[in-house]
Structures are given as C-alpha cells and as structure tokens.
Amino acid sequence: MKIDILTLFPPMFQGPLTESIVKRAEQKGIISINIHNIRDITNDKHHTVDDTPYGGGPGMVMRVDVADRALAKVTQSNPTVKPYIILTTPQGNIYNQKKAIKLSKKKWLIIICGHFEGYDERVRNLVDEEISIGDIILTGGEIPAMAIIDSVVRLLPGGIGKAESTREESFTDNLLEYPQYTRPQEYKGKSVPQVLLSGNHQQIAAWRHQEAVKRTQKRRPDLAK
C-alpha cells in the first residue's frame, strides 16, 4: 500500500510513523509512506497556503487552489492508479474499525491534514471521503492522520506478527474484546478464571464470547444494540 500525507508540519510524523509496527511494515515493503509539505507546493515567495475567510470571521482558511495543486503534484507520480483521497475534519464520518478495514483494502491513500480555521468549502470536492476521529477539536489533522495510518497498517497482510490478533480484538462483530490474563496466576487475591486453565478450548471460546457480550453491554451499550 502507498500512503501520501499532505501536511504543514512534516516533523510531527517523526516517531509515530518511524517506530513499532508501522516502521517494520515499511521495512518489509508492505507500505510506502511519503510526507509532503504543502508549503513546498505553493507558487509565491511567502509560501502562502491560507487566507482570511470571505464574509469575515476569525482564523484563516486553507485555499482550494493550494490543495488542488498539492494533490495534482502527488497524483502525477502514478497516473495509472486512482488514489483514495481523505480529508481529516471534525465534520467528517466518524472513524471506526469497520472504516479501517475498508481503507486497508485500498492500494493508495492520500490524506490531507488541515490546519487553521478550516478549509475552503471547495476543497471537499477534491476528496473521496471526509473523516473525523471523534467529536473533538484538535489543532490540526496530523494526529487523526496518524491514527488512521496506524489502524490501517496493522490490518495489512504481514502488518503484524500474528494475523489472528486482529480477528478477536475490540469492535470485531461490534463487541469489545474479552478479558485477558497472564502470569502470575494469582495476584493480591485476584485469580485467573478457572475456565482459562481448563485446556477445554470450546469452553474457553464460549466464556470469552459471553464475557465480550457482557462487557459490551456494560461499557458500550450503543454497540450492544
């Protein structure tokens, strides 16, 4: 998978995308991540990417012509493949695991990270989908982009060590993950449930499903519905 990021702050991605699973996936050739500074694509000496909003109001707004040129420059590198273009915005579709699975099937993702007060409305016509990571306002779209990339990469074949790790985790089948235990078997009066020590895989599977349902009903009744 190819991933291109359009941002005003490329250094923000150093760390989240150069460590752990994402780093190993890139080393294996599973993904190719390219970070582009939007200011480098501007055509004036001040590298202007924003302007004051028509009609007045606070803040600055990203210009549509700048966003369009940035996308054109990135997409010309591979004209035979159509990228799936994402705009990170609080007004977008709420991101979840089902969305991550959908995006993991794409061959090429381009993510535009906004800043300032927002985007010129016409920028929305340049993208395939607008995505929000929740009902919160952040300083920019970089952190949502990192969350999207991390969640997608771990779903790619070879992205993590054991493929089954992604089949029984939270939000699979609209359930939170069941309780997990490891050594020591007993700690400060709290013991590992006996069923997990039984060696009966059928009983363990039934217990885990039951606990997943109970946990979902208690903590996320919206999913349980």
Shared domain check, 180 and 135: no
Number of domains in the chain: 2
Last residue of a domain, one of 153, 182, 212: 153
* 161 falls within a domain: no
Q: What is the domain-level CATH number for residue 205?
A: 1.10.1270.20
Q: Look up tokens 């939000």; give the residue.
A: 171
Cβ–Cβ under 8 Å, residues 109 and 1: yes
Domain of residue 131 covers: 2-153
* 159 falls within a domain: no
Helix (H) or strand (E) holding 192: none
| Confidence (pLDDT) at 59 | 87
Last residue of a domain, one of 119, 153, 187: 153
* 177 falls within a domain: yes
Shared domain check, 180 and 130: no
List all residues 6 or more positions away from 38 whose beta carbon is below 8 Å from its beta carbon: 6, 7, 8, 49, 66, 67, 70
Per the DSSP assignment, residues forming a β-bridge with 143 are: none
Arithmetic mean of pLDDT, 199-224? 94
Shared domain check, 120 and 28: yes
Shared domain check, 60 and 94: yes
**Banded model confidence at residue 46, pLDDT cuts 50, 70, 90:** confident
Shared domain check, 19 and 120: yes
Shared domain check, 179 and 147: no
* 149 falls within a domain: yes
Q: What is the pLDDT of residues 76-89, one digit of tens each?
A: 988 899 999 999 99
Arithmetic mean of pLDDT, 173-192? 94
Q: What is the pLDDT of residues 123-170, one digit of tens each?
A: 999 999 999 999 999 999 999 999 999 999 999 999 885 554 556 666
Cβ–Cβ under 8 Å, residues 73 and 41: yes
* 193 falls within a domain: yes
Shared domain check, 6 and 57: yes
